[in-house]
């Protein structure tokens, strides 16, 4: 090696390129002046005195009631920004009053679910040893949205190891996609697309989970037999990835938790003629999701279920909230992440660990399933983005009322 | 953390916002756009570093960085309470670069790279070995796919940890680490050749 082009050298040079040099400092100062001038032209937004009670502010909005345009977009007498701020405050109150504790899904799998007091899914405790590593499939959970598998990897003598990732086979060790994760198939050989995973739990330090889409499970199935197979493991060693080949295969049956689905198929047109359709709302024990059409992929979505009001993160994790762990999802028909069931709900959940840096990453889970919430719900799209456009979310609001069975 | 709101007529330099949280700075900027400068000061290195690894020359880098912050300033009021400002800015940057390539009819920088490398009159700075190597590496970087550039720029440009990248793109941190390692390995092969 001549010092040019080693991975370490490239990493260092990439960082040096990113940092820039003297022209960047001049540019930084010039842009700062430009932004200050731009800001000066933008009138400061006066703080508005909010005299309504918080409860009144978030009550479900009847079509046409209290909805008016006055010098800009106003929702039920409050600007969207205020309504969002109030919502956040109310959400904190709701959480505090109910004593609800957010729990990462990996902890619910290996520990217990706040909803039931029991671990999520069923116990399997199946082990396979190959190549000096033992993979133990501890637990499995399935619903109409997700199949979640919890496992650990230990050395052959039983010592926990971290950062070792089972993969489908040695040929996909460097595959950048989730297809590299162990293959999961049903009894007919139908593959379940992998959605992600994580590798850190406060309940069990070497716990890992992998999540698969359950979109192909038929609606009337109450149990499903699955086959999980990994034919290689990625083992981090001295900043490189070693490959250990072997076979870790498990066949098991898991109950499919029931889900409830409402299909409002409502189309609402905003004052500018922009139509958004609420196709479907579904609830499983692991998530609440809404599928929208015509709202782009970055719409701002709020949900009022009973006396509770939530802001739904956008799909793909960009709006994921690591602190509250909300995993409610708005899925947009325009999103490439959409799967067959939802046209895609790519949840970001479980905890994560940065192996190289040795730090635990953000822990997310679901705040509460709303599995037992029924009745009249209201979903509000406060801003949306034209499909295919690069502008920020705008327009709206679009308000949908529907019955959740 | 309380953010001091600018008194009428007071110059922005008098603000003391260095200790403010992101949420406080965002809230202040949503009340008074001039307070956005606190976010700019905090996140310029992150965004500039990200954009620099995704563009082939300084002019383009500065154009995109300017666009990111002017857009962010104009749209700061749309950021939701509790929203992650760094993720939001990086998303704006990612979209700006996507838009740039789209406007250039699908070019991902390679054509520009060829032009730059063939430039017969490089600037004096570019005559140093370090500059040439940096330029060459940057050119090779442009031959990667947009998703690969995005990952490397998040890691080495924006300085995010693997866990933070995983959270941002919604994937497994281990998979992200493997991806980055694989991309670096491929980059190294091209760079050496």
Per-residue pLDDT reduced to its tens digit, A4-19: 457 777 888 888 887 7
Contacts of A52 (CB under 8 A, 6+ apart): A77, A78
Tokens 């990248």 appear where? B165
Q: pLDDT over 70 for what percent of chain A?
A: 54
CB of A3 within 8 Å of a chain B CB? The answer is: no
Task: List chain A residues with CB under 8 Å of B192.
Answer: 4-5
Tokens of A333: 């028909």
Q: What is the DSSP letter of A5?
A: S
pLDDT digits (tens, 9 = 90+) for A149-198: 989 889 888 888 766 788 888 876 655 556 678 999 999 998 887 766 65
pLDDT at A255 over 60: yes
Task: List chain B residues with CB under 8 Å of A38.
Answer: 33, 70, 73-74
pLDDT digits (tens, 9 = 90+) for B177-186: 777 888 887 7
pLDDT digits (tens, 9 = 90+) for A339-379: 434 433 333 322 222 222 222 222 223 345 566 778 999 98
- Using CA coordinates, name the residue in chain A closest to B188: A5
Separation between Cα atoms, residue A197 and residue A168, nearest integer Å? 14
The answer to whether the CB of A122 falls within 8 A of the CB of A252 is: no
- How many residues are present in chain B? 193
Mind giving me the DSSP string for A379-396? EEEEEB--TT--SPSBS-
**Whether complex ipTM tops 0.90:** no
pLDDT, mean over chain A: 66
- Quick one: average pLDDT of A78-105? 32
CB of A170 within 8 Å of a chain B CB? The answer is: no
Q: Which ranges of chain B have pLDDT less than 70?
A: 1-19, 80-83, 102-130, 170-171, 192-193
Mind giving me the DSSP string for B46-112? HHHHHHHTT-SSHHHHHHHHHHHHHHHHHHGGGSPTT--HHHHHHHHHHHHHHHHHHHTTT--SHHH
Do A11 and B73 lie within an 8 Å CB cutoff?
no
Q: What is the pLDDT of residue A266?
A: 95
Separation between Cα atoms, residue B179 and residue B174, nearest integer Å? 8
pTM of the model: 0.46
- Using CA coordinates, name the residue in chain A closest to B91: A318
pLDDT digits (tens, 9 = 90+) for A380-398: 888 887 765 556 667 878 9
Strands A165-167 and A375-383: unpaired
- Which is more confident, A107 or A232? A232
Do B182 and A176 lie within an 8 Å CB cutoff?
yes
Task: List chain A residues with CB under 8 Å of B178.
Answer: 165, 173-174, 176, 180, 234, 241
Compute φ and ψ for A282, nearest 5 degrees: -130, 150
Do B162 and A354 lie within an 8 Å CB cutoff?
yes
Compute φ and ψ for B10, nearest 5 degrees: -75, 140
- Which is more confident, A113 or A125? A125
Do A23 and B58 lie within an 8 Å CB cutoff?
yes
Q: Which of B4, B83, B178 to mutate to test the interface with A (most CBs of A within 10 A)?
A: B178
Q: pLDDT over 90 for what percent of chain B?
A: 5
Q: What is the pLDDT of residue A85?
A: 29
């Amino acid at each position: 090696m001549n010092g040019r082009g080693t991975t370490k050298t490239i990493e260092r040079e990439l960082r040096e390129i990113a940092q820039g040099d003297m022209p960047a400092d001049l540019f930084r100062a010039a842009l700062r002046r430009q932004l200050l001038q731009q800001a000066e032209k933008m009138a400061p937004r006066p703080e508005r005195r909010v005299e309504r009670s918080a409860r009144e502010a978030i009550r479900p909005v009847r079509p046409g009631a209290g909805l008016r345009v006055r010098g800009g977009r106003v929702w039920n007498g409050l600007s969207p920004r205020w309504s969002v701020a109030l919502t956040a405050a109310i959400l904190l109150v709701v959480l505090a009053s109910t004593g609800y504790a957010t729990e990462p899904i990996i902890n619910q799998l290996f520990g217990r679910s706040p909803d039931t007091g029991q671990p999520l899914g069923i116990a399997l405790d199946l082990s396979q040893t190959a190549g000096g590593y033992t993979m133990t499939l501890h637990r499995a959970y399935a619903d109409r949205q997700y199949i979640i598998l919890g496992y650990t990897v230990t050395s052959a003598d039983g010592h926990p190891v971290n950062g070792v990732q089972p993969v489908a086979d040695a040929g996909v060790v460097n595959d950048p996609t989730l297809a590299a994760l162990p293959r999961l198939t049903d009894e007919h050989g139908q593959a379940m697309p992998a959605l992600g995973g994580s590798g850190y739990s406060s309940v069990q330090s070497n716990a890992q989970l992998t999540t698969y889409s359950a979109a192909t499970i038929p609606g009337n199935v109450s149990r499903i037999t699955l086959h999980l197979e990994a034919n290689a493991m990625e083992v981090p060693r001295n900043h490189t990835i070693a490959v250990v080949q072997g076979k870790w295969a498990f066949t098991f049956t898991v109950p499919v938790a029931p889900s409830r689905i409402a299909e409002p198929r409502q189309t609402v047109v905003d004052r500018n003629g922009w139509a958004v359709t609420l196709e479907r709302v579904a609830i499983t024990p692991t998530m609440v999701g809404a599928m929208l059409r015509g709202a782009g992929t970055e719409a701002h979505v709020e949900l009022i279920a009973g006396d509770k009001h939530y802001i739904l993160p956008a799909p793909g994790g960009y709006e994921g909230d690591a602190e509250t762990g909300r995993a409610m999802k708005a899925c947009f028909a325009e999103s490439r992440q959409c799967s067959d069931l939802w046209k895609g709900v790519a949840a970001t959940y479980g905890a994560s660990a940065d192996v190289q840096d040795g730090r635990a990453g953000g822990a997310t889970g679901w705040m509460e399933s709303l599995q037992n919430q029924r009745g009249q719900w209201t979903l509000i799209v406060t801003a949306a983005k034209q499909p295919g456009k690069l502008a920020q979310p705008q327009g709206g609001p679009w308000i949908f009322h529907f019955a959740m069975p | 953390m309380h953010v001091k709101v600018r008194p009428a007529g007071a110059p922005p330099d008098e603000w003391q916002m260095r200790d403010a949280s992101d949420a406080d700075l965002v809230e202040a900027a949503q009340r008074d756009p001039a307070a956005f400068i606190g976010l700019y000061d905090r996140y310029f290195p992150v965004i500039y570093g990200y954009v620099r690894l995704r563009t082939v020359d300084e002019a383009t880098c500065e154009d995109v960085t300017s666009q990111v912050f002017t857009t962010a300033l104009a749209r700061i009021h749309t950021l939701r309470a509790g929203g992650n400002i760094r993720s939001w800015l990086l998303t704006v940057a990612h979209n700006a670069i996507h838009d740039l390539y789209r406007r250039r009819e699908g070019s991902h920088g390679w054509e520009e790279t060829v032009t730059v490398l063939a430039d017969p009159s490089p600037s004096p700075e570019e005559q140093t070995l370090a500059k040439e190597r940096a330029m060459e590496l940057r050119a090779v970087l442009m031959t990667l796919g947009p998703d690969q550039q995005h990952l490397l720029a998040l890691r080495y440009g924006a300085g995010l940890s693997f866990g933070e990248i995983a959270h941002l793109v919604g994937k497994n941190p281990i998979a992200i680490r493997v991806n980055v390692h694989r991309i670096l390995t491929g980059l190294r092969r091209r760079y050496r050749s």
